[in-house]
Amino acid sequence: MRVVFGDGTLAQLPEEAERLGMGRILVLSTPEQKDQAADIAARLGTLAVGLFDRATMHTPVDITEQALAVVQSLNVDGVVSVGGGSTTGLGKAIALRTDLPQIAVPTTYAGSEMTPILGETKNGEKITLRTPKVLPETTIYDVSLTLSLPPAISATSGMNAIAHAVEALYAEERNPIISLMAEEAIKALAKALPIIVADPHDRDARHQALYGAWLCGIALGSVGMALHHKLCHVLGGSFNLPHAPTHTVVLPHAVAYNAAGAPEAMRRIASALGAENAAQGLYDLSRRLGAPLSLAEIGMREADIEQAVTQAAARPYPNPRPLETAALRRLLQNAFAGKPPQEEQA
């Protein structure tokens, strides 16, 4: 992948599109970012032949099918995804089915643009696959595009990014290079996010956050993830909880669950946060940012906890600690109530 990073780099979009041989581009966005996507389509001039503004979180297959119909009707030969993980996911889903080239233009800290991973939702279940086919050919990071990201969304988007780096530090396939990047990413975001919440137009902080998110995305795409991401996929795919806030709420509790099984990762996380304890440090950072602390406040029903536990434990996957139903239930009950994280014994 080619990465263009800086401030004002969106000006290079037409050049990047032509370099990839794109002549009939479909610009993708969520409904909320339609105006921003339309402005970016205007920058492309005659290269842009359409705008599809129905990207949706968790990448529902039916939305992808609608977008594919537009791709076919307009004879599209490339897509530009403008936004966060929802739009990037749609671009990936299109690429998976058509092999069309993609340019990702992130406006959040989701990190999906740096990964060969696609999560799609169908019939109330989120399925994840990993293939190089879904990697964008180019990602353009432009700090100026993040200045309008509201503080509340910046906070949860940034915590979502941190989750990628945290799990990379105790991933089964972890390696020294990715661990260095992950620790640096946590440090950059933990420093930048409180400044952004206080002053959303602080360009230096926005630069640091976008840099950290880029590193988090690389970490997510390079090694496998564990319990935290599994839980968030279950909660998002089955109960339609919002993606980034779900990651924000669950992360301290998943880290507490795994603390005894990954002491070196915990030390590095705590160090990057400037905290004594990794799980509590993440919880305190969320609270400082004014981010949600409980699953209840983002729309989960207490009655759904048991189903979530069953689904999370259903398929084995690598994790520093074995998955135990009773412990998972305690984790989700604490996260539902917004209690401080409680470490489990190995």
Listed in order, strand segments (DSSP E) in 29-66 are 48-52
Q: Would the pLDDT of 295 be above 90?
A: yes
Quote the pLDDT of residue 123: 85
Kindly report, residue by residue over 156-175, the tens digit of the pLDDT: 999 999 999 999 999 999 99
**How would residue 346 be classed by pLDDT, with cut points 50, 70 and 90?**
low
Please list, in sequence order, all residues whose beta carbon lies within 8 angstroms of the beta carbon of residue 104, skipping any fewer than 6 positions away.
80, 81, 88, 91, 113, 136, 138, 139, 140
Kindly report, residue by residue over 7-30, the tens digit of the pLDDT: 999 999 999 999 999 999 999 999
Over residues 49-53, the mean pLDDT reads 98
**Interstrand relation of 117-122 and 125-130 (parallel, antiparallel or unpaired):** antiparallel
- The half-sphere exposure of 127 on its side-chain side, counting CA atoms within 13 A, is 8
- The half-sphere exposure of 247 on its side-chain side, counting CA atoms within 13 A, is 23
Distance (Å, rounded) from C-alpha 280 to C-alpha 340?
7
Over residues 323-336, the mean pLDDT reads 96
Three-state DSSP state, 52 = strand
For the record, the structure tokens of 337 come out as: 């109530």
Kindly report, residue by residue over 193-244, the tens digit of the pLDDT: 999 999 999 999 999 999 999 999 999 999 999 999 999 999 998 999 999 9
Quote the pLDDT of residue 316: 76
Is residue 174 within 8 A of residue 127, CB to CB? The reply is no
CATH topology of domain 2-146: Rossmann fold (3.40.50)
Quote the pLDDT of residue 124: 79
Is residue 341 within 8 A of residue 280, CB to CB? The reply is yes
3-state helix, strand, coil in the chain (%, to 5): 60, 10, 25
Over residues 239-255, the mean pLDDT reads 97
Taking each helix axis as running N to C, give the angle between helix 278-289 and helix 151-169, from 0 to 180 degrees, rounded to the nearest 10.
170
Number of other residues whose CB lies within 10 A of the CB of residue 245: 24
- CATH match for 151-337 among 3.40.50.1820, 1.20.1090.10, 3.30.450.40, 3.55.50.30: 1.20.1090.10
Burial class (CB in 10 A: 0-12, 13-18, 19+), 204: exposed
Quote the pLDDT of residue 315: 78
Whether pTM > 0.85 for this model: the answer is yes
Q: Would the pLDDT of 91 be above 90?
A: yes
Q: Which of 303, 1, 266 is nearest to 134 (CA)?
A: 1
> What are the extents of the domains in the chain?
2-146, 151-337
The angle subtended at Cα 153 by Cα 267 and Cα 143, nearest 5°, is 85
Q: Would the pLDDT of 256 be above 80?
A: yes
Q: Would the pLDDT of 121 be above 80?
A: yes
The average confidence (pLDDT) of the chain is: 96
Please list, in sequence order, all residues whose beta carbon lies within 8 angstroms of the beta carbon of residue 81, skipping any fewer than 6 positions away.
28, 29, 55, 87, 88, 90, 91, 102, 103, 104, 105, 113, 136
**How would residue 344 be classed by pLDDT, with cut points 50, 70 and 90?**
confident
